[in-house]
Chain A
Amino acid sequence: MPVSLLVEPDGVIVGQYAQCFAALGEAFVSLPNERGLAVQLAACPVDLLFLGPSLSHRTVVEICRQIREGDHAAHPKIILTLTGATADLTEVDPYIDDYIRYPFAQPELKARLRNRLPPTSIVANGPGRARLFSSPALGNNIVTDDALRLNEAFLNSIYEGINLNVFIIEVVGENDFVISGANPAHVKHTGLAAKDLLDKNIDDLAVQGLLTREAADNLKVKYQLCVTSGQTIEYEETVVLHGGITSRWLTHLAPVADAQGKVFRIIGSSMDITELKEVEQHLIESRWLLRQQNELLQSILDSPEGIIIFSLDTHYCYKAFTISHQETMKAIWGVDIKVGMNMLDLIKDAEDRRKAHHNFDRALQGQQFAIDEEYGDNNLNRSFWENRYSPMYSQQKEIVGLTVFVTDILERKNHELALSESLNVVNHQNHRLLNFAYIVSHNLRSHTSNITGLIDELEAATSEQEKAELIQYLHQTSHLLNETIQDLNDVVAVQTSKQLKIEKLYLSSYVSKALLILNEQILTKKAIIHDNIPPQTAFSYNPSYLESIVFNLLSNALKYSHPDRQPEISLNYFLDETGVPVLQICDNGQGIDLEKHGENLYGMYKTFHNHPDARGIGLFITKNQVEAMGGNIKVESTPGKGTTFNIYLT
């Protein structure tokens, strides 16, 4: 864009030029004298050179020669500013392309700018080129009066309409300032009416209480600085207006000097920057907050014990992850993860991979959810995690990935397991207690009620023989009652034993011991015993329980043998599919109808055969002992064919 250059030493005149150029939207530079002109012409594309009114005739001739005869790349059109005084232009006219009369109105300047010569025509300019001055100068004079009015109206409209405080201060003396003007914006913004301000001395405002003394003194310092320096000054100030509203202003003071350079007036303008300052402050605070949050986030991400977070893109590839996640992946699957790796490729367990894939897809479909899951290497590092899945959105609200927040809940799961285990124990205890209460109520009662009945009959009996018979029954009953109480004692012993003695026991020696005690029955029944227990089979158990369990089951197998065939009993020992040691005792005896008696099988005093020795206490105690050792007992049976008991030892 072409630039206009003015050479003029008077700052006020330069200011007037500048204002017009600015209003026309034209680029403009100025120099106070001819020094530096060559540099300026070389630096930017100057197409109009205005020679100011304050230049001496000699300087004008000097500049014109320099431009027209010098070796410059640019050949600007030269416009000489004329003042009212007539001057001899014969010497300079050959160099001058146009004239303008000072003071001029904006349209006149605009006309000069519009008449810019096409660049090619400038080349031909030289001292020989003739130009007449008279007529344009006359014409300009007529236009100037109109233009001045226009210019004033224009400036007035700016003064009135601009949303910027403009005020005029007359410099009356040193530190003595009188307000001579304040535009509507000033009145609006300060709330001070023009009549309260105009022709008032700054000190008057303080006396009237429109300004504090301090504020008035501050203003005077600034105004005086502007006066003494003769420079435009700019500063920010806080203004407390009546009503206590504090606002922040950017103020600009421009000095107006007379011909001697004495500043007699200050044109001030102020802009309310309160909001701007608030926004700036808010911005600073936001930045600070953001930085803090960033630091916090970073510290979370970098903390080795911190929460585990990772995010994946729509192809399950890592976008970001915390150090803790990196370490977890290393610990569980032995992989060093990196951004861009597909996470599904790293999960080595097929079932875990399927589970993860499914959950990732749910999140990628926009679901947000949390699940407790078990992940990890089957043998070593299987652990429980609570995983919170969330979809990740772009600014356009499209799902671009997912984020998973992981919490290690192994400890919580262990607590849950322990709790459910204790609940089981409590339930078992409760069941046993109920059973025990039932036993007490049923068995002791039947004996005591019999005793009562017998005594009643004894009292009513008439013959000695009848009395003797009843006493005989009374003896029997008291014997049975004794036996029942003994049984209950045994049961209580199993139920209440807290700390059981545990030793390493060889199963075979306990089997031999039981067979020895049962030897007579085995011989009588001609029973065949298949002892398939490996000789060195050993495990940790309570000795008296193992003795009782083996004896009870063997004795039952013999007792309930089938009348039509030779009894066969086999003893086996093996580990089940989960590695639990099992003692198995199979017989070919009468069997038990499990559909009918299943739930009562281990109940106390439950008998299922017409055997004279059946007392219904053995299996009850056996089951209690097995369970007290942390194992359990299972039975399979077919009536008429036989029974198999499996004792799970742990």
Chain B
Amino acid sequence: MNHSKSIFIVDDDRIYQLVMAKIMSRLDPSVQINSYLDGSDALEAIAGNLAKGAPLPELIFLDINMPNMDGWDFLDSFLGLAPEPTTRVYLTSSSVAFEDKHKAMLYPSIKQFLIKPIPKETLIEVMKTIL
């Protein structure tokens, strides 16, 4: 492994991004955390990485409700760029809507549907998967 693990947080809540980043950095100081307020920003970053031949992020925490490009749109575009990604995607939301859970099952990349706030134990488990 010649590069540090990369994690994306895509969420329009700045405070949440910050708290998440702090917790994960403490759990594994070696990970590189990138936060984006909107799906389109994250997509741009990924496209840039792919162009440079850089690897895809190992983990993406993806919020569903975002004003411009929401979680689903991001996911569709992302899969357009990288049809069979190694990335593990975790959907995050404050509310549980049944139709969302249903939809999540259609995407093999989506590993889990996490309800905010994400308990620390869950986060540790998720982090372990990329060690």
Contacts and interface: CB of A to CB of B under 8 A. Distances in A.
A453 B19 contact: yes
B67 A453 contact: no
A454 B26 contact: no
Given A460-B26, A473-B15, A441 B94 contact: yes
Nearest to B63: A446
A608 B22 CA distance: 29
B67 A610 contact: yes
Interface string B89-119: 0000011000000000000000000001100
A449 interface: yes
Contact of A449 (B65, B68, B117): B117
A595 to B, nearest CB: 13
A453 B117 contact: yes
Q: Kindly state the interface size class of chain B when it binds its partner.
A: 10 to 19
B116 A449 contact: yes
Nearest to B120: A456
A446 B92 CA distance: 11
Contact of A610 (B26, B38, B94, B117): B38
Nearest to A476: B15
Interface string B1-20: 00000000000010110111
A57 interface: no
Contacts of B50: none
Interface in A590-616: 607-610, 614
Interface string A431-449: 0000000100111011001
A452 interface: yes
Given A441-B94, A610-B68, A446 B38 contact: no
A450 B26 CA distance: 17
Interface string B44-64: 000000000000000000000
B9 to A, nearest CB: 13
B23 A453 contact: yes
Contacts of B120: 456
A632 interface: no
A445 B93 CA distance: 10
Contacts, number: 53
A460 B19 CA distance: 12
Contacts of A456: 19, 23, 120
A403 B116 CA distance: 71
Query: Is the interface on chain A under 10, 10 to 19, 20 to 34, or 35 or more residues?
Result: 20 to 34
B95 A441 contact: yes
Nearest to B72: A596
A419 B26 CA distance: 61
B19 A438 contact: no
Interface in A436-493: 438, 441-443, 445-446, 449-450, 452-454, 456-457, 460, 473, 476-477
Contacts of A438: 95
Given A452-B117, A608-B67, A477 B15 contact: yes
Contacts of B22: 457, 460
Contacts of B16: 446, 449-450, 453
A600 to B, nearest CB: 9
Contacts of B38: 610
Nearest to B26: A460
A445 B94 contact: yes
A377 B65 CA distance: 54
Given A446-B94, A607-B67, A457 B23 contact: yes
Interface string B29-52: 000000000100000000000000
A443 B12 CA distance: 13
Contacts of A453: 15-16, 19-20, 23, 117
Nearest to A611: B67
B18 A473 contact: yes
Nearest to B117: A449
Nearest to A444: B94
B10 to A, nearest CB: 14
Contacts of A476: 15
Contacts of B116: 445-446, 449
Contact of A450 (B19, B23, B65, B67): B19
A574 B22 CA distance: 57
Contacts of B26: 460
Contacts of B67: 607-610, 614
A66 to B, nearest CB: 127
A442 B19 contact: no
B109 to A, nearest CB: 22
Given A441-B94, A446-B94, A450-B117, 13 more contacts: A442-B94, A445-B116, A446-B16, A449-B116, A450-B15, A453-B20, A457-B19, A457-B22, A457-B23, A460-B26, A473-B15, A609-B68, A610-B67
Interface of B: 13, 15-16, 18-20, 22-23, 26, 38, 65, 67-68, 94-95, 116-117, 120
